[in-house]
Amino acid sequence: MLSSCSRRTAGGSLTLWGGIYYVLALLCILDIFRQPWSLGKKLLWILICFVPFGIIIYFLFSGRGKA
């Protein structure tokens, strides 16, 4: 994020999207730790969050709304 003023990217747009992705990934990980799941399931979802589109996969298939 500190390199957003760099001239190597197209107007800093890539680093802006990277910063947004990291914020969303952090929120995703914090949400995973609040879930009452086993440690193995939490680690699996954390790994999924770091793949491309993993955050979307998490919020679609993590079992929200099943109470």
Segment 2-55, tens digit of pLDDT: 444 444 555 556 678 888 888 888 999 999 999 999 999 999 999 998 888 888
Q: How many structural domains compose the chain?
A: 1
Instruction: Report the b/e string of 23-52 with b at 16+ CB within 10 A.
Output: eebeebbeebeeeeeeeeebeebbebbeee
The rounded radius of gyration (Å) of the Cα atoms in the chain is 15
Q: What is the residue range of 24's domain?
A: 2-61
| pLDDT attached to residue 33 | 92
**Does the structure show a pLDDT above 90 at 63?**
no
Q: Which residues contact 39 (CB under 8 A, 6 or more apart)?
A: none
Residue 38 covered by a domain = yes
Residue 47 covered by a domain = yes
pTM (global) more than 0.85:
no
Residue 42 covered by a domain = yes
Residue 66 covered by a domain = no
